[in-house]
Amino acid sequence: MKTLIIIPTYNEIDNIEKLLEQVLAKSETIEVLVIDDNSPDGTALRVKFMQSSEPRIHLLERPGKMGLGSAYVTGFKYALERDYDYIMEMDADFSHNPEDIPLLLNAAKKYDLVIGSRYCEGVNIIHWPIKRLLISYFASKYVRTITRMPVKDPTSGFKCFQRKVLENIDLDKILSDGYAFQIEMNFRAWVKGFHIKEIPIVFTERKNGVSKMSRKIVWEAAWMVWRLEVMKILGLLK
Ligand SMILES: Nc1nc2c(ncn2[C@@H]2O[C@H](COP(=O)(O)OP(=O)(O)O[C@H]3O[C@H](CO)[C@@H](O)[C@H](O)[C@@H]3O)[C@@H](O)[C@H]2O)c(=O)[nH]1
Protein backbone atom coordinates (compact mmCIF):
# COMPACT_ATOMS: atom_id res chain seq x y z
CA MET A 1 0.00 0.00 0.00
CA LYS A 2 1.68 3.16 -1.21
CA THR A 3 1.77 6.19 1.08
CA LEU A 4 2.60 9.79 0.29
CA ILE A 5 3.54 12.02 3.21
CA ILE A 6 3.09 15.67 2.29
CA ILE A 7 5.40 18.05 4.17
CA PRO A 8 4.93 21.78 3.60
CA THR A 9 8.02 23.83 4.31
CA TYR A 10 8.89 27.44 4.88
CA ASN A 11 12.38 28.00 6.30
CA GLU A 12 12.96 24.50 7.62
CA ILE A 13 16.60 24.02 6.63
CA ASP A 14 17.62 22.95 10.12
CA ASN A 15 14.96 20.23 10.24
CA ILE A 16 14.27 18.89 6.79
CA GLU A 17 17.23 16.59 6.18
CA LYS A 18 16.98 14.70 9.45
CA LEU A 19 13.20 14.57 9.21
CA LEU A 20 13.18 13.07 5.71
CA GLU A 21 15.73 10.45 6.75
CA GLN A 22 13.64 9.41 9.73
CA VAL A 23 10.34 9.41 7.84
CA LEU A 24 11.63 7.33 4.94
CA ALA A 25 13.21 4.84 7.33
CA LYS A 26 9.74 3.94 8.62
CA SER A 27 8.79 1.90 5.53
CA GLU A 28 9.85 1.19 1.95
CA THR A 29 6.30 1.95 0.83
CA ILE A 30 6.49 5.56 2.06
CA GLU A 31 7.32 8.44 -0.27
CA VAL A 32 7.46 12.11 0.68
CA LEU A 33 6.41 15.24 -1.13
CA VAL A 34 7.95 18.47 0.14
CA ILE A 35 6.08 21.60 -0.88
CA ASP A 36 8.40 24.52 -0.42
CA ASP A 37 7.38 28.15 -0.81
CA ASN A 38 10.71 29.53 -1.97
CA SER A 39 12.14 29.46 1.55
CA PRO A 40 14.83 32.14 1.83
CA ASP A 41 16.97 29.77 3.92
CA GLY A 42 17.42 27.35 0.99
CA THR A 43 15.28 24.47 2.26
CA ALA A 44 14.47 23.41 -1.32
CA LEU A 45 18.15 23.20 -2.27
CA ARG A 46 18.76 20.86 0.63
CA VAL A 47 15.85 18.68 -0.52
CA LYS A 48 17.17 18.63 -4.10
CA PHE A 49 20.52 17.47 -2.82
CA MET A 50 18.85 14.56 -1.02
CA GLN A 51 16.78 13.71 -4.11
CA SER A 52 19.92 12.77 -6.03
CA SER A 53 20.35 9.67 -3.89
CA GLU A 54 16.74 8.98 -2.84
CA PRO A 55 14.01 8.56 -5.48
CA ARG A 56 11.29 8.47 -2.81
CA ILE A 57 11.70 12.21 -2.21
CA HIS A 58 9.58 14.51 -4.37
CA LEU A 59 9.65 18.28 -4.37
CA LEU A 60 7.28 20.97 -5.59
CA GLU A 61 8.49 24.54 -5.43
CA ARG A 62 6.16 27.51 -5.35
CA PRO A 63 7.24 31.07 -6.02
CA GLY A 64 6.50 32.56 -2.60
CA LYS A 65 4.82 31.99 0.75
CA MET A 66 1.30 31.03 -0.28
CA GLY A 67 -0.01 29.41 2.89
CA LEU A 68 -0.32 26.02 4.51
CA GLY A 69 -3.77 25.16 3.15
CA SER A 70 -2.96 25.79 -0.48
CA ALA A 71 0.30 23.84 -0.07
CA TYR A 72 -1.68 20.81 1.07
CA VAL A 73 -4.26 21.20 -1.68
CA THR A 74 -1.41 21.20 -4.20
CA GLY A 75 -0.02 18.07 -2.55
CA PHE A 76 -3.40 16.30 -2.52
CA LYS A 77 -3.85 16.93 -6.25
CA TYR A 78 -0.34 15.59 -6.87
CA ALA A 79 -1.23 12.43 -4.93
CA LEU A 80 -4.54 11.90 -6.74
CA GLU A 81 -2.81 12.11 -10.12
CA ARG A 82 -0.67 9.17 -8.99
CA ASP A 83 -1.32 5.80 -7.38
CA TYR A 84 -1.03 6.51 -3.65
CA ASP A 85 -3.42 4.65 -1.34
CA TYR A 86 -2.81 6.74 1.77
CA ILE A 87 -2.01 10.43 1.91
CA MET A 88 -0.59 11.94 5.09
CA GLU A 89 0.02 15.46 6.38
CA MET A 90 2.98 16.21 8.61
CA ASP A 91 4.91 19.26 9.86
CA ALA A 92 8.59 19.58 8.97
CA ASP A 93 9.79 20.64 12.41
CA PHE A 94 9.60 17.41 14.50
CA SER A 95 6.45 18.61 16.29
CA HIS A 96 5.11 15.37 14.89
CA ASN A 97 7.18 12.36 15.81
CA PRO A 98 8.12 10.14 12.83
CA GLU A 99 7.80 7.18 15.23
CA ASP A 100 4.02 7.76 15.22
CA ILE A 101 3.67 7.31 11.44
CA PRO A 102 3.06 3.52 11.65
CA LEU A 103 0.36 4.10 14.28
CA LEU A 104 -1.56 6.44 11.98
CA LEU A 105 -1.08 4.18 8.97
CA ASN A 106 -2.24 1.15 10.87
CA ALA A 107 -5.42 2.89 12.02
CA ALA A 108 -6.02 4.15 8.46
CA LYS A 109 -6.60 0.54 7.34
CA LYS A 110 -9.86 0.67 9.33
CA TYR A 111 -10.79 4.36 9.33
CA ASP A 112 -11.17 6.81 6.45
CA LEU A 113 -9.43 9.66 8.19
CA VAL A 114 -7.05 9.26 11.12
CA ILE A 115 -6.05 12.28 13.17
CA GLY A 116 -2.99 12.35 15.43
CA SER A 117 -4.64 14.05 18.37
CA ARG A 118 -3.13 16.18 21.12
CA TYR A 119 -6.37 16.25 23.10
CA CYS A 120 -7.99 12.83 22.92
CA GLU A 121 -6.28 11.59 26.08
CA GLY A 122 -5.75 14.66 28.23
CA VAL A 123 -3.40 17.31 26.84
CA ASN A 124 -0.26 15.98 25.18
CA ILE A 125 1.84 18.97 24.25
CA ILE A 126 5.44 19.57 25.29
CA HIS A 127 7.13 22.97 25.52
CA TRP A 128 4.32 25.18 24.21
CA PRO A 129 3.96 28.57 25.89
CA ILE A 130 0.84 28.59 28.05
CA LYS A 131 -0.82 31.27 25.85
CA ARG A 132 -0.43 29.15 22.72
CA LEU A 133 -1.71 26.08 24.53
CA LEU A 134 -4.80 27.89 25.79
CA ILE A 135 -5.61 29.31 22.35
CA SER A 136 -5.29 25.89 20.74
CA TYR A 137 -7.22 24.05 23.46
CA PHE A 138 -10.13 26.47 23.59
CA ALA A 139 -10.18 26.78 19.80
CA SER A 140 -10.74 23.02 19.70
CA LYS A 141 -13.61 23.28 22.20
CA TYR A 142 -15.07 26.19 20.18
CA VAL A 143 -15.04 24.17 16.96
CA ARG A 144 -16.64 21.20 18.66
CA THR A 145 -19.35 23.29 20.31
CA ILE A 146 -20.39 25.06 17.11
CA THR A 147 -20.11 22.18 14.65
CA ARG A 148 -20.79 19.19 16.93
CA MET A 149 -18.12 17.40 14.89
CA PRO A 150 -16.82 14.56 17.12
CA VAL A 151 -13.15 15.53 16.93
CA LYS A 152 -11.19 16.72 19.96
CA ASP A 153 -8.23 18.12 18.02
CA PRO A 154 -9.68 19.62 14.83
CA THR A 155 -6.61 21.74 14.01
CA SER A 156 -4.09 18.92 14.19
CA GLY A 157 -1.77 18.88 11.19
CA PHE A 158 -0.72 15.24 11.59
CA LYS A 159 -3.21 13.02 9.82
CA CYS A 160 -3.77 10.28 7.30
CA PHE A 161 -6.46 10.15 4.61
CA GLN A 162 -7.55 7.12 2.71
CA ARG A 163 -7.43 8.07 -0.95
CA LYS A 164 -11.21 7.87 -1.37
CA VAL A 165 -11.72 10.74 1.12
CA LEU A 166 -9.71 13.15 -1.00
CA GLU A 167 -11.37 11.87 -4.16
CA ASN A 168 -14.74 12.81 -2.65
CA ILE A 169 -13.85 16.33 -1.58
CA ASP A 170 -13.85 19.06 -4.22
CA LEU A 171 -10.37 20.42 -3.57
CA ASP A 172 -11.00 23.48 -5.74
CA LYS A 173 -13.67 24.58 -3.27
CA ILE A 174 -11.47 24.60 -0.18
CA LEU A 175 -11.81 28.04 1.40
CA SER A 176 -9.19 28.25 4.12
CA ASP A 177 -5.46 28.59 4.16
CA GLY A 178 -4.11 28.60 7.71
CA TYR A 179 -4.91 26.20 10.55
CA ALA A 180 -8.60 26.60 9.57
CA PHE A 181 -7.70 24.39 6.63
CA GLN A 182 -7.37 21.46 9.01
CA ILE A 183 -10.81 22.12 10.48
CA GLU A 184 -12.30 22.44 6.99
CA MET A 185 -10.88 19.15 5.71
CA ASN A 186 -12.15 17.26 8.77
CA PHE A 187 -15.53 18.94 8.54
CA ARG A 188 -16.00 18.20 4.84
CA ALA A 189 -14.99 14.56 5.38
CA TRP A 190 -17.35 14.24 8.35
CA VAL A 191 -20.31 15.83 6.54
CA LYS A 192 -19.78 13.33 3.72
CA GLY A 193 -20.08 10.50 6.23
CA PHE A 194 -16.47 9.34 6.37
CA HIS A 195 -15.31 7.67 9.57
CA ILE A 196 -12.83 9.68 11.57
CA LYS A 197 -10.60 8.23 14.27
CA GLU A 198 -8.37 10.17 16.64
CA ILE A 199 -5.32 8.47 18.06
CA PRO A 200 -3.22 10.03 20.80
CA ILE A 201 0.09 11.62 19.87
CA VAL A 202 2.49 13.84 21.77
CA PHE A 203 3.13 17.17 20.03
CA THR A 204 6.52 18.68 20.84
CA GLU A 205 7.27 22.34 20.15
CA ARG A 206 9.96 22.80 17.53
CA LYS A 207 13.60 23.25 18.59
CA ASN A 208 14.73 24.81 15.29
CA GLY A 209 13.08 27.58 13.26
CA VAL A 210 9.93 29.48 14.17
CA SER A 211 6.17 28.92 14.04
CA LYS A 212 4.31 30.76 11.27
CA MET A 213 1.25 31.30 13.42
CA SER A 214 -0.26 34.79 13.20
CA ARG A 215 -3.32 36.69 14.39
CA LYS A 216 -4.73 36.45 10.87
CA ILE A 217 -4.54 32.63 11.03
CA VAL A 218 -6.42 32.57 14.35
CA TRP A 219 -9.19 34.89 13.06
CA GLU A 220 -9.55 32.92 9.86
CA ALA A 221 -10.22 29.79 11.94
CA ALA A 222 -12.69 31.63 14.22
CA TRP A 223 -15.00 32.79 11.41
CA MET A 224 -14.46 29.84 9.09
CA VAL A 225 -16.21 27.55 11.58
CA TRP A 226 -19.40 29.61 11.27
CA ARG A 227 -19.11 29.77 7.50
CA LEU A 228 -18.75 26.00 7.24
CA GLU A 229 -21.65 25.42 9.61
CA VAL A 230 -23.92 27.67 7.54
CA MET A 231 -22.81 25.95 4.33
CA LYS A 232 -23.64 22.59 5.91
CA ILE A 233 -27.12 23.77 6.92
CA LEU A 234 -27.70 25.04 3.37
CA GLY A 235 -26.61 21.66 2.01
CA LEU A 236 -23.64 23.12 0.15
CA LEU A 237 -21.09 20.61 1.44
CA LYS A 238 -22.67 17.37 0.24
N1 LIG B 1 4.86 25.64 1.99
C2 LIG B 1 4.47 26.28 3.11
N3 LIG B 1 4.67 25.71 4.31
C4 LIG B 1 4.26 26.39 5.41
C5 LIG B 1 3.63 27.65 5.35
N6 LIG B 1 3.35 28.03 6.63
C7 LIG B 1 3.77 27.04 7.44
N8 LIG B 1 4.35 26.05 6.70
C9 LIG B 1 4.90 24.77 7.17
O10 LIG B 1 3.84 24.09 7.83
C11 LIG B 1 4.33 23.36 8.95
C12 LIG B 1 3.62 23.85 10.23
O13 LIG B 1 3.87 25.24 10.38
P14 LIG B 1 4.23 25.89 11.80
O15 LIG B 1 4.20 27.35 11.64
O16 LIG B 1 5.42 25.25 12.40
O17 LIG B 1 2.96 25.42 12.63
P18 LIG B 1 2.73 25.58 14.18
O19 LIG B 1 2.61 27.01 14.51
O20 LIG B 1 3.68 24.75 14.95
O21 LIG B 1 1.26 24.94 14.27
C22 LIG B 1 1.00 23.60 14.57
O23 LIG B 1 -0.23 23.55 15.25
C24 LIG B 1 -1.35 23.96 14.45
C25 LIG B 1 -2.64 23.99 15.24
O26 LIG B 1 -2.49 24.21 16.56
C27 LIG B 1 -1.51 23.00 13.30
O28 LIG B 1 -2.66 23.32 12.52
C29 LIG B 1 -0.26 23.07 12.42
O30 LIG B 1 -0.32 22.11 11.35
C31 LIG B 1 0.97 22.78 13.28
O32 LIG B 1 0.95 21.40 13.62
C33 LIG B 1 5.85 23.57 8.97
O34 LIG B 1 6.44 22.49 8.31
C35 LIG B 1 6.02 24.89 8.20
O36 LIG B 1 7.29 25.01 7.60
C37 LIG B 1 3.43 28.24 4.07
O38 LIG B 1 2.90 29.34 3.90
N39 LIG B 1 3.86 27.51 2.98
The predicted-structure confidence for 201-226, as pLDDT tens digits, reads as follows 999 988 888 877 788 888 899 999 99
Domain of residue 149 covers 3-233
Amino acid at 63: P
Q: Is residue 44 part of a domain?
A: yes
CA distances 102 to 34, 131, 137, Å, are: 19, 31, 26
- pLDDT tens readout for residues 101-151: 999 999 999 999 999 999 998 888 888 889 889 988 999 999 999 999 999
Q: Is residue 54 part of a domain?
A: yes
Ligand 1 centroid, distance to 157 Cα (angstroms): 8
- Residue 135 backbone phi and psi in degrees, to 5: -60, -50
Number of domains in the chain: 1
Q: Is residue 188 part of a domain?
A: yes
- Residue 23 backbone phi and psi in degrees, to 5: -65, -45
Q: Is residue 142 part of a domain?
A: yes
- Contact predicate 58/87, CB 8 Å: no
Q: Is residue 42 part of a domain?
A: yes
Q: Is residue 14 part of a domain?
A: yes
pLDDT at 199: 97
Strand 57-61 relative to strand 3-9, pairing: unpaired
CATH number of the domain within which 70 lies: 3.90.550.10
Q: Is residue 189 part of a domain?
A: yes
- pLDDT tens readout for residues 16-48: 999 999 999 999 999 999 999 999 999 999 999
Mean pLDDT of 78-88: 98
pLDDT at 217: 87
Q: Is residue 238 part of a domain?
A: no
Q: At what angle do helices 43-51 and 16-24 cross, to 10 degrees?
A: 40
Residues with beta carbon inside 6 Å of ligand 1? 8-10, 12, 35-37, 65-68, 71, 91-93, 95, 136, 155, 157, 179, 182, 211-213
